[in-house]
Chain A
Amino acid sequence: MKNKPKIAIFDFTDCEGCEVALVSLREKLVEIATETEIVNWRLAQKKADDGPYDIVLIEGTPITQTEIDTLKFLRGQTKILVGLGSCATLAGIPGIIDKEARSGWYEKIYGKDYKPRGIDALPLSAYVLVDYSIHGCPVDKSELLRVIQELLAGKTPKNPGYSVCFECKLAGNPCRLLDKKPCLGPITAGGCGAICIKGGSPCYGCFGIRQDAQVDNLVMTLRKFSDPAKIENYFSMFLKKTPEYKKLFDNKKERNGKP
């Protein structure tokens, strides 16, 4: 009998919501666990085998030195390394804090004598080669399933080439931009089913900026009805540690408020 692929799931600093999404696959998760061997998953089991692994899924931001070291070690232990969720793929919400702002806030929140663990919130790709990114805050359940199934079938999964707008139209939502409400849908990779817009919220880009996105054109459109602070507010939700954000906004003042 062919050996089952060995999967390991690790989490760094984050909310663990993407692992909860994995559990929410319910019957499908049982199928995955039957087709494979989940040899390491702290949230779900004590069994914690050392590598080598076939597939490693990593959720969260490597924010402490231990996490950075673990990440680099895991890269050498696995054939395929997959980022699970926006914290891992973009730095996401933890990335809102700039490295330079951290020390002042540590002192304010924890006092002078505290020895902080966190260094900087950056995506996995700041330290290692990532084979595939499952974006989303949290990840979309069907997208998660698609990627895992494709990986198990030996395929190289691809990000959907279309934007959130494509799925938003399919969902029949009224366009926020036409209503003069900011939205990052046009430049954001699809795969989420436009779930935020369906619920009445904007797209803040948690699936990452799609290939060949016309970021400058969207910014020009947004400027017609939003002030610069508002535009930056939208881009700084999940995309603060991306090159696009840096290009658009990084020549400006202190952005994390003062303690």
Chain B
Amino acid sequence: MESHSFIAKIEGHGNLHLDWDKNKVWLEVDEGERLFEAMVVGRPAKDLPWITSRICGVCPIAHNLAALKALEGAFGVKLSGSSLLLRRLLLAAQILQSHTLHLYFLALPDYLGIDSGINLAKTHPEHFKNALKLKQVSDLLAESVGGRGIHPTATAIGGFKKVPSKNQLIGLKKEVERLLEPAEKTAKLFSSLKYPEVKTDLVFLAQTSSIDYDVYDVKHISSSRGALGKISDYKKLITEEIRAYSTAKFGKYSGKIVTVGALSRLNLSGNLLSGKAKELYKSAGVDFQNPYHNNLAQSVEIYAFIQKVIELLNQLTKEGIDEEKTIVFSEDIKPSRKVRGIGALEAPRGGLYYEIGIDAEGLITDCNIITPTVQNLPSMEESAKAVISQQKNVGKDSVEELLEMLIRAYDPCITCSVH
């Protein structure tokens, strides 16, 4: 793998290099720097969520909402009840979109011995049908609440510029209920796959709410080894280092290598799942020492978030949306003094952090973004070392294949990691 070919079927341009003799592995990230933290400086606050959603086309909603949370923190804006429900719905839709794309389109082909997810249409039409249904309805949810499936148009500081009608919500509920079956089949399919065997000692990290399996309304940073951290201390806790071979920084938590994403959320908050999602989790047999099981964790999460979306839609249709409090137009918001805000949420791939400074004129003075994949890069290298040392007997080609599958299992978002 010492060539310039990039790993296929991951988001962005990364290449894993290895030195067999020295048992050394390094993940070269070669995505060009777009400098998002620079491009927003000097621009009005309203531009932040609009511009930074473009960091990533796979998880744009996560960036859009984290940016809005940071701005709302800075301006001291509280969301109405309906706005909060709609935000949670939108982020759940994002996780469904992203997990479906990754599991069926990027990860599954490895396990079925085919190259492209598009070929599933011919080789495994039943799986393909489930994938399309999940994709179609999660895109529809994102479009209905966010205004567009990729790069939202309807979100705004303090709420939304436009909200779905009650009839639309009722229609969505019917559609989402039809996902329960394909979602269950997805969890069972990924439980039935034969994952490569590797034992690692992963330290898990996730933002948690400790009340339920929530990803939007998070309260603290939890680690599988150590005390709860405050989100406001994110910068002290998560440090980033520069490596010559990578345009992405490498992140550590309290100086330690950690793992973020679906497997971490399940490890730290899995006990908060309820109903059928809990059953599927229990019967899935997730091995938390095996990073390949992140795929399995994502499949359980698909079911869990469909359940959550149904709950949210029930609540929204029952209570109705208070449009007066939800719809805001705040293009020219000016705080009249310097303010700062932090916005954090669990994106599909793990904890995402935004910090923003705004001057009295409402212009952005500085911006800091830490993405999930930045936190996962060191863990990917560690797990790759474990694969090499534990699978030495299978031959170089097979190990290289296992390593590509490993990187894919982490579902890295390379363009996010560079931004």
Interface set of A (CB-CB < 8 Å, partner B): 12-21, 23-24, 26-27, 29-30, 33, 38, 41-48, 61, 63-64, 66-67, 92-94, 96-97, 101-102, 105-106, 108-111, 113-118, 121, 137-138, 181, 195-196, 198-201, 204, 233, 237, 255-259
Contacts and interface: CB of A to CB of B under 8 A. Distances in A.
5 A-B pairs with the lowest CB-CB distances in the bound complex, closest first: A17-B57, A200-B161, A199-B147, A199-B153, A13-B32
B154 interface: yes
B226 to A, nearest CB: 28
A24 B31 contact: no
Contact of A46 (B115, B147, B160): B115
B117 interface: yes
A171 B246 CA distance: 46
Interface in B142-191: 146-154, 156, 160-162
A138 B153 CA distance: 12
A26 B135 contact: yes
A8 B172 CA distance: 36
A21 B150 contact: yes
Contacts of A93: 34, 39, 51, 54
A233 B116 contact: no
A16 B57 contact: yes
A233 B44 contact: yes
Interface residues of B, number: 65
Contacts of A259: 38, 41
B33 A106 contact: yes
Given A63-B32, A196-B153, A200-B329, 10 more contacts: A16-B56, A17-B54, A21-B57, A42-B6, A48-B8, A110-B33, A137-B151, A198-B153, A233-B43, A256-B38
Interface string B92-107: 0000000001000110
Nearest to A70: B4
B54 A199 contact: no
A22 B152 CA distance: 17
Nearest to A179: B329
20 contacts: A13-B32, A15-B58, A23-B135, A26-B136, A42-B6, A42-B9, A44-B116, A45-B9, A47-B116, A93-B54, A94-B34, A97-B35, A109-B35, A110-B33, A118-B34, A121-B34, A181-B331, A200-B154, A204-B50, A233-B47
B30 interface: yes
A47 B148 contact: no
A111 B242 contact: yes
A114 B244 CA distance: 7
Contacts of B136: 26
B382 interface: no
Nearest to A92: B54
B242 A13 contact: no
A17 B132 CA distance: 18
Contacts of A41: 116
Contact of A195 (B57, B148, B244): B148
A64 B150 contact: no
B42 A14 contact: no
A27 B132 contact: yes
B35 to A, nearest CB: 5
Of B5, B35, B249, chain A has the most CB atoms within 10 Å of the CB of B35
B412 interface: no
A92 B364 CA distance: 20
Contacts of B105: 23, 44
B12 A45 contact: no
B41 A257 contact: yes
A14 B415 CA distance: 7
A33 B39 contact: no
Of B54, B132, B156, B244, chain A has the most CB atoms within 10 Å of the CB of B54
B172 to A, nearest CB: 16
B118 interface: yes
Of A17, A41, A48, chain B has the most CB atoms within 10 Å of the CB of A17
B9 A46 contact: yes
A43 B154 contact: no
A13 B34 contact: yes
A20 B247 CA distance: 23
A63 B34 contact: yes
Given A44-B116, A67-B32, A256 B154 contact: no
A176 B44 CA distance: 19
Nearest to A108: B38
Given A16-B12, A233-B47, A137 B153 contact: no
Contacts of A61: 32, 34
Given A29-B118, A121-B34, A19 B9 contact: no
Contacts of A26: 132, 135-136
B149 A24 contact: yes
Contacts of A109: 33, 35, 37-38
B409 to A, nearest CB: 16
Contacts of A27: 132
Contacts of B217: none
Nearest to B332: A230
B11 interface: yes
A115 B8 CA distance: 26
B57 A19 contact: yes
Nearest to A46: B8
B139 A24 contact: yes
B37 A118 contact: no
A105 B36 CA distance: 10
Contacts of A102: 35
A64 B153 CA distance: 30
B60 interface: yes
A187 to B, nearest CB: 19
Of B56, B150, B153, B249, chain A has the most CB atoms within 10 Å of the CB of B150
